[in-house]
Amino acid sequence: MSSSSTTTEAATLELEPARRPSHVAVIMDGNGRWAQRQGLPRIEGHRRGVSSVRRTTEECARLGVDQLTLYCLSSENWKRPQSELDFLMHLLEQYMIEERALIMKQDISVSVIGRRDGIPDSVLQEIDKTIEMSASNRGTRLCLAINYGGRSEMVDAVQRIAKDVFSGDIDIANINEQTISDYLYTSGMPDPDLLIRTAGEMRVSNFLLWQISYAELWVTSKCWPEFEISDLHQAMRDFANRDRRYGGLNPKKT
């Protein structure tokens, strides 16, 4: 995306930093459907989706968003055709290599949540290298959910808690919500303020089930390859106008 286009889009936000979400999470849906509507193979939708990842990440970094979490591959996606999975793994490996310069330039730190089993060793090596290279960066934290499932995350957390209870490292009477949060893949990360979903689907698809308890949901009918900076800005504007009460009452409202 050109700098002039970015500047034009950026000028339309007009939203003070205090009213922007600190943590934006995105369910990037509709790559295959977008491609099919264009008469293209599904894999072309995934390729085009990488461009949406790039511009969304760049804009979040420019705006000073603390964290951007992207749902890249769910644990259920392994049911897809092997040829499509192979291409997704190739794209992921390519992304980790080609985006390093931009990641370092924009001071972005990268982390990954999800299970590592099933992901090719060559892809894991590039993921680990990017994570290590960007570890000391202090800008936006880019968290990629790969081979991720919210229920699997909870199962893994419960197993780890049970193991530590059995070993005596945890008193079962002291287990609370913070304990569970500390044992999730996202330990140490803030919960999402805003959850964006593309392609018009009205479900959360096993994504960050514990963490999005109080997130504001924003859904667009656009497929992920069509998602532009202007859409991100609109989601942020709508977020700023929401009345977030966390179960209580807003004393400013009557």
Residues annotated as catalytic are 29, 77
- To which residue do tokens 């929401």 refer? 242
Say if CB 110 and CB 77 are below 8 A apart: no
Cα radius of gyration rounded to whole Å, the chain = 19
Where do the H-state alpha helices sit in the chain?
A: 3-11, 31-37, 42-63, 82-98, 100-105, 121-134, 150-167, 177-183, 229-240
Residues 95/97/98/99 CA torsion (nearest 10 deg):
70
In whole angstroms, how far apart are CA 165 and each of 156, 160, 173, 183, 228? 14, 9, 10, 13, 47
